[in-house]
């Protein structure tokens, strides 16, 4: 029987990071032109926030983000920054609505990523959030590797960010190590600690659990989800925007994305990146809605629900055969 997720909120906001996290996938590079094409498609599909890129990385990256901002999309545009003045000023100069500041605070971040101690990192969080607010940017503060950060330390870092004026907190499972049971507990604990604060989750798929973790986080009260079309990102990528939209529709959770845009979004990113989803990938894979055994084919002819969880036509795939057609 189809069951509905126990979500405290029946609405979640998608933060599509195809143009930032996706640009970090091996072999993928977005030109200004393809950035514009993808951004327009995301906006047209109803994505709430488009994560554009990391403007401080290079002149070309700055121009790519600036061009996206100039489109004047309905979606809010967020650009990425380390917790340093240079990065945040670059985001402000692009005219983006929001900055996504990311910083790690656990031992491995102190020793391998930032080479600073906790006190120094907390001070970086404080000053970078204040600087961003002084530029009138909406601020998302992400703790990188939050999943391997002791709760008390995580809480201290988030408190500093909120006191400095951050608008939203983000919990990143940067290495993709969590399981849904751990996510339910961890996000539940954060929700209790910061009940009024919008909370985003960012799950990498290294254990193949990004989607499961995302649904678990939503059930535990996450309000925003980082995702990318076809799941592209570092290593195994992150939660797939297309599959997430389909899953949320199935669970009756509103995310603003038109379900019928799923096929074209996935196809566009496949074309631009010259890299399609695996044939067996849920929702967007070539075989996701194809039926082979005679018994199955016959049953589906009589009633498509016999061997399908969803009608591929609702996702924008030409029927019959859906994604596999």
C-alpha distances in Å from residue 258, one per residue of 47, 254, 262 = 9, 10, 7
Residue 290: how many other CB atoms lie within 10 Å: 18
In the bound state with ligand HCA, the residue whose beta carbon lies nearer, of 90 and 288, is 90
Name the active-site residue from 107, 135, 287, 296.
Answer: 296
Question: C-beta of 273: minimal distance to ligand HCA in Å?
Answer: 17
In the list 16, 21, 43, 66, the residue contacting ligand HCA (rule: CB under 6 A) is 21
In the bound state with ligand HCA, the residue whose beta carbon lies nearer, of 21 and 43, is 21
264 binding partner (options Cu ion, ligand HCA, none; Cβ < 5 to 8 Å by kind): none
Helix (H, G, I), strand (E, B) or coil at 78: strand
Helix (H) or strand (E) holding 187: helix 180-193
Q: Is 61 among the residues that bind ligand HCA (CB under 6 A)? A: no
Tokens representing 58 are 């290079």
φ, ψ for residue 118, nearest 5 deg:
-60, -45
Residue among 297, 285, 225, 178 nearest 47 (CA):
225
Q: Which 86-105 residues touch ligand HCA, going by CB under 6 A?
A: 100, 102
Distance between CA atoms of residues 9 and 238, nearest Å: 23
Distance between CA atoms of residues 221 and 215, nearest Å: 10
In the list 131, 172, 184, 269, the residue contacting ligand HCA (rule: CB under 6 A) is 172
Which x/- pattern over 264-303 shows residues binding ligand HCA (rule: CB under 6 A)?
Answer: ----------------------------------------
Q: Which 222-261 residues touch ligand HCA, going by CB under 6 A?
A: 226, 234
In the bound state with ligand HCA, the residue whose beta carbon lies nearer, of 100 and 267, is 100
Which x/- pattern over 3-22 shows residues binding Cu ion (rule: CB under 5 A)?
Answer: ------------------x-
Active site residue 13: no
Question: C-beta of 163: minimal distance to ligand HCA in Å?
Answer: 20
Residue among 98, 93, 144 nearest 121 (CA):
144
Question: C-beta of 17: minimal distance to ligand HCA in Å?
Answer: 7
In the bound state with Cu ion, the residue whose beta carbon lies nearer, of 210 and 323, is 210
Distance between CA atoms of residues 3 and 19, nearest Å: 33
**Which DSSP symbol is given to 81?**
E
Distance between CA atoms of residues 14 and 49, nearest Å: 6
Contact between 122 and 156 under an 8 Å Cβ cutoff? The reply is yes
Binding site for ligand HCA (CB under 6 A): 21, 24, 80, 100, 102, 142, 144, 170, 172, 174, 202, 204, 226, 234
Residues with catalytic roles: 296
Binding site for Cu ion (CB under 5 A): 21
């Amino acid at each position: 029987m189809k069951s509905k997720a126990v979500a405290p909120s029946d609405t979640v906001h998608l933060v599509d990071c195809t143009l930032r996290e996706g640009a970090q996938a091996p072999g993928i590079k977005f030109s200004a032109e393809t950035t514009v094409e993808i951004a327009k498609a995301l906006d047209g599909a109803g994505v709430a926030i488009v994560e554009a890129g990391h403007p401080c990385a290079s002149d070309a990256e700055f121009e790519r983000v600036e061009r996206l901002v100039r489109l004047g999309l309905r979606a809010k545009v967020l650009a990425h920054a380390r917790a340093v003045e240079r990065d945040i000023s670059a985001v402000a100069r692009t005219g983006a609505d929001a900055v996504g500041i990311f910083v790690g605070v656990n031992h491995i971040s102190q020793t391998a990523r930032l080479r600073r101690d906790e006190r120094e990192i907390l001070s970086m969080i404080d000053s970078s959030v204040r600087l961003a607010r002084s530029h009138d940017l909406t601020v998302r503060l992400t703790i990188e590797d939050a999943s391997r950060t002791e709760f008390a330390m995580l809480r201290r870092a988030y408190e500093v960010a909120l006191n400095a004026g951050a608008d939203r907190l983000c919990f990143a499972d940067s290495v993709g190590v969590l399981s849904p049971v751990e996510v339910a507990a961890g996000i539940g604990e954060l929700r209790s600690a910061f009940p009024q604060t919008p909370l985003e989750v960012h799950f990498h798929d290294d254990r193949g659990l990004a989607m499961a973790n995302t649904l678990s986080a939503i059930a535990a009260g996450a309000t925003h989800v980082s995702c990318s079309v076809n799941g592209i990102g570092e290593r195994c990528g992150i939660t797939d925007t297309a599959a997430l939209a389909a899953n949320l529709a199935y669970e009756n959770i509103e995310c603003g994305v038109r379900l019928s845009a799923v096929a074209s979004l996935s196809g566009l990113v496949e074309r631009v990146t010259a890299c399609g989803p695996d044939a067996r990938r849920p929702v967007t894979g070539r075989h996701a809605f194809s039926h082979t055994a005679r018994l199955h084919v016959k049953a589906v002819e009589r009633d498509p629900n016999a061997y399908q969880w969803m009608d591929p036509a609702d996702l924008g795939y030409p029927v019959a055969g859906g994604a596999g057609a």
